[in-house]
Structure 1
Amino acid sequence: MTDPSTMLRIAESAVSAAERSFIHGLGADPHQIKERGDFATKVDLEIEEKLRSSLSDQTGIPVYGEESGGDLNRDRVWIVDPIDGTANYAAGNPLCAILLSLLVEGQPMVAVTSIPMLGRRLSAHVSSPLYLNGRALKPLRDPDKMIAQIGFSSVASPLNSRYSSQVRQGLLADLAETYLRPRITGSVGVDLAFTAQGIFGGALSLSPNVWDNAAGVLLIRAAGGVVTGTEGEPWTMNSEGVIAGNAEAHKAIMGTMNKILNQQ
């Protein structure tokens, strides 16, 4: 049986070591070109290898990483995004993060999101509160609607996605007409972490990638927020995205999403 508190300690220790490489390499040039104009830096590859080695050696649990892949068809698997927001990272923009989660039967049991350039590390396991730099935070509350912001994250649209570029643009425009104020940070992990902390009232991720979403899903659950897939269904590792936030913001985002999808 996997003990969540033990796994969280191991995860945080591994991330601590990776943070030093992250901070030292900020501004690294693109190194490996990927599909759709995406790229990785040498630091992406270095951090993923460090995390992969540390986690597998200490726990015997396999690792699935954004850069080097792995096997997702397992009961237990570590999910690693060594640098979420790589374009930000290469430009020296501090809104980038290390994302790490442990999935057990497709759901996150442990999560760590580190935003090293802001000095913030969020962590949680399935039966814990949300921790910020080791300190438990109070549950989320509905923010003042006059200042409510949400994160909007969208990766390049896959050919088989129902969320075409036109849908994404319309969704962003319609969200801007609500009391929510969309913000595009360039990092799904930052959006979800800010939502867990209550900096953002909510977040909408249209990324289908489990490495982008899994850690933030657990952090927001630990904070007492509402988390679903983009159609309001319970989130799973196979969901095409995430809608999350306090109850009021989630309802507003979900309403806008339904309106857009019903127009197709």
Structure 2
Amino acid sequence: MTDVTGSLQAAESAVSAAREIFLNELGAAPALHKGPGDFATAADLAVEELLRTELTGSTGIDVVGEEHGGQLSQEACWVVDPIDGTSNYSAGNPNCAILVTLLLECQPAVAVVDAPLLNMRLTALDGQPVHLNGEPLPRVGTATAAAPHVGIGSVFSRDRPRMPSNQRVELAGELTRVGLRPRISGSVGVDLAFAAQGIYQAAVSFSPHVWDNAAGILLARSAGAVATAGDGSRWEPGKTGAVVGNPAAHAAVMRAIESVQARTGEEE
């Protein structure tokens, strides 16, 4: 049986070590071009290598990462995004984070989201409250004095089949029309972390990658938010996207997504 408390300690220790590289290399130029508009810096590669060494060495559990891949295990595996929001990181934009998640039986059980430039480290164990910089957070509520903010990450798409760029732009407009306020940060990890804290009332990820979504799903669940895959079903690896938020905001976002997809589908 996996020791989740010990695994969280191991994850925090690994992330703390990776912080030094993260901070020292801030503003690093692209070192590896993976496709149009998509690249990794030397810091992405170095951080992932360090995380792999530390996590596997301390827990004996294999790692799947954005830069060096790996094989998902049905029993237990770590998934890591060494720098979520690489384009932001390379430009010195503080909306970027290290994401580390332990999956047990294909569901997130341990998560660390560390955004050093925002002084924001969120941690979660399945079934326990979210902690911010070591302090427990209250569960997210439904009331807000301001118009509800919704993080939508990015409108750029490299031909993502579920929601390409034109639909993302349409979604931003649709959210505005129904009284929500979309926010574009360029970092899925930051968006989902903000939703877990109630800074955003909801957040949407369009990413199909497990390392982008897993940590935020656990943070949202632990914060008492609704957390689903992009189509509203139960999240699991292999499903595209994520939608998290308080119940009212989550429902409003799902209606907006369905409306946009129906409308753009008719136009085609």
TM range (shorter): over 0.9
Aligned positions of 1:1-264 closer than 5 A: 1-144=1-144, 146-154=146-154, 156-157=156-157, 159=159, 161-263=161-263, 264=265
Partners of 2:159 and 2:29 lie apart in 1 by 29
CA shift, 1:146, in A, is: 3.0
CA shift, 1:160, in A, is: 6.4
Partners of 1:95 and 1:159 lie apart in 2 by 24
Counterpart of 1:110, as a letter, is V
**Conserved 8 A contact 2:111-2:215:** yes
For this pair of structures, how many residues does the alignment match?
264
Partners of 1:158 and 1:106 lie apart in 2 by 26
**Conserved 8 A contact 2:36-2:158:** no
CA shift, 1:143, in A, is: 3.4
CA shift, 1:201, in A, is: 0.6
CA, structure 1 residues 73+122, in 2 after alignment: closer, same or farther (shift >3 Å)?
same
TM-score with structure 1 setting the length: 0.96
Partners of 2:92 and 2:162 lie apart in 1 by 33
CA shift, 1:224, in A, is: 0.4
- Unpaired segments of 5 or more residues in structure 2? none
Q: CA RMSD in A?
A: 1.4
Percent sequence identity is 49
CA shift, 1:36, in A, is: 2.6
User: For residues 44-66 of structure 1, what are the alpha-carbon distances to aligned partners after superposition, in whole Å with 9 as ceiling and x for unaligned?
Assistant: 11110000000011111100010
**Conserved 8 A contact 1:153-1:185:** yes
CA, structure 1 residues 157+95, in 2 after alignment: closer, same or farther (shift >3 Å)?
closer
CA, structure 1 residues 248+167, in 2 after alignment: closer, same or farther (shift >3 Å)?
same
**Conserved 8 A contact 1:64-1:80:** yes
Counterpart of 2:128, as a letter, is S
Partners of 2:172 and 2:213 lie apart in 1 by 19
CA shift, 1:8, in A, is: 0.7
Q: Is the deviation greater in 48-57 or in 22-31?
A: 22-31
TM-score with structure 2 setting the length: 0.95
Q: Is the deviation greater in 128-137 or in 231-240?
A: 231-240
CA, structure 1 residues 158+118, in 2 after alignment: closer, same or farther (shift >3 Å)?
closer
**Conserved 8 A contact 1:153-1:207:** no
Partners of 1:30 and 1:162 lie apart in 2 by 28
Partners of 1:160 and 1:33 lie apart in 2 by 18
User: For residues 70-115 of structure 1, what are the alpha-carbon distances to aligned partners after superposition, in whole Å with 9 as ceiling and x for unaligned?
Assistant: 1114421100100000000010111100000001121101000000
Partners of 1:160 and 1:85 lie apart in 2 by 17
Partners of 2:155 and 2:234 lie apart in 1 by 21
**Conserved 8 A contact 1:196-1:223:** yes
Q: What is the DSSP-based 3-state SS (H/G/I as helix, E as strand, rest coil) of the residue aligned with 2:152?
A: strand
